[in-house]
Structures are given as structure tokens and as C-alpha cells.
Amino acid sequence: MMDILMYLFETYIHSDAELMVDQDELADELLRAGFHQEDIYKALDWLEKLALLQDADKTPYLTGSALTSVRIFTPQEMDRLDTESRGFLIFLEQISVLNPETREMVIDRVMELETQEFALDDLKWVILMVLFNVPGNERAYDQMEELLYCTAEDEYLH
């Protein structure tokens, strides 16, 4: 499913392609691209739920955290997000790329992914998708995009 999400993000969002595509057309295109139908519908459902996270009435847990609160990860979250990934989330909060609400959106979307293997690079893509979807996070999105495309070689040049 992560492959489909990345494909959709790069094809339609990152490339500024037409965003108003019929869901059936999109599913057909993804089938032609070689993705499995069941995975396609799961990915489209995942994206729909991402859009719904902005509705505070349906997700009140996203709007109730104080800035001084500390996030404790559940055992299931710790199984999905390794130490490096959890540290990266904390780092992004410290540099104001994420706030408590967008952090919770990211964790929510990560936990909804049906995948056995989940790495830091996957987390970066999920963060980018969440930031793109939440209005007012353009600067944070740009920072995250730089972090996503930054190579180890670039890091050592500074």
C-alpha cells in the first residue's frame, strides 16, 4: 500500500497534475500501473481518512494537547515505529515542522498502514502527505520535503 501512496503523491501532488480525478479512473490507472485492486482501494480509503482528520468533531483527540504535554507511545505504536522513527518525530516537533496535532495525524496514518515493514523513509513520506493535506503548513511541508530529498552526502557538506 505504501508504494501506491507514494506513486499517487508523486504523480498527482508533487507533479502538480490534475487533482480532480474520478476515483474509478484513478483505480483503473493504478491497475494498469500494476498495482493490485485490493491494495488500491485500501490506499484510496487511507487517503480519504487522511482528509477527514481535519474534522475536529470526528477526531477530538487531535485538538486537546497542551504544548507542554509529553507523548507516550502505545506498545502497538512502538512495534510499528522503531526508536529512530520515534526520535525523528520528536526532532520534527522540536524544530516546529510538526505540532502536536500534525504529529497525531502522522501517527494515526502510520498505524492505519497495512504493512509488516515500516522504515524511517516510509515515515518521512507519510509526514509529507499529512503536511500537504493540512492547510497552513506550507513552510513545514517545504522543510520536510528538504529533509526527505536530502542525501547523506549533502548532510556532511555543511
The pLDDT of residue 145 is above 90: no
Percent of the chain scoring above 70 in pLDDT: 80
Give the model's pLDDT for residue 152: 47
- Tens of pLDDT, residue by residue over 39-77, are 999 998 998 888 888 775 665 555 556 666 788 999 999
Work out the number of other CB atoms within 10 angstroms of the CB of residue 155: 9
Its pTM stands at 0.80
Domain locations in the chain?
A: 1-60+71-156
User: Residues 104, 61: contact at Cβ < 8 Å?
Assistant: yes
The mean per-residue pLDDT over the stretch 6-23 comes to: 69
Asked if residue 149 has pLDDT above 80, the reply is no
**Average pLDDT, rounded, for the chain:** 83
Q: Within a 13 Å sphere around the CA of 13, how many CA atoms are in the beta-carbon half?
A: 16
- CB–CB of 21/12 below 8 Å? yes
